[in-house]
Amino acid sequence: MIRRLSDTVMVSAQIRPDDVPVLKRSGVTMIVCQRPDDEDPGQPPAAEIEKAAEDAGIEFRFLPIVRGIGPADAEAMREAMEATSGKLFAYCRSGNRCTLAWAVARRKQGASREEVEEIANRAGVDLTPIDHLL
């Protein structure tokens, strides 16, 4: 299930290479993988998604979040968000880590805490684990 966090940022659970052309048709110009390889058996490695993205003309960034969201994770997400002129699509196991990284990145960009909390709540994500970063 894809969750739209803004007009230009979407997040979801793990994708497969054959999902990439659909993302391209929806205007995605950058894919961000925030899931480490080998987190679950049968998960496609980031390199397979990267190859599909490259074939579709979509930029790809591998920014795995391993143990909770930290400032560096949020900064990498902010940089990715600011580097694309189109839509950014980020994925992890469930979309939650991506939403958490997005929330901290948006706060760094000047969005209010209330705004990011409201959007995260609509997406079904609790920001309590990153409360100290907001």
Here the CATH number for the domain that contains residue 87 is 3.90.190.10
Tokens of 114: 């209330």
Structure confidence at residue 61 as a pLDDT band (50, 70, 90): very high
Q: Tell me the three state secondary structure of residue 31.
A: strand
Residue 89 · residue 30 · CB < 8 Å: yes
Structural domain count, the chain:
1
Residue 133 lies in a domain: no
Nearest Cα residue to 88 out of 69, 71, 105 = 105
Residue 45 DSSP label: P
Location of structure tokens 């902010």: 78
Average pLDDT, whole number, for the chain? 96
Q: In what order do the strands lie in the sheet with 59-62?
A: 3-4, 9-12, 87-91, 28-33, 59-62
Residue 134 lies in a domain: no
Domain limits at 26? 3-124
| Burial (CB count within 10 angstroms: exposed 0-12, middle 13-18, buried 19+), residue 40 | exposed
Q: What is the pLDDT of residue 105?
A: 96
Structure confidence at residue 68 as a pLDDT band (50, 70, 90): confident
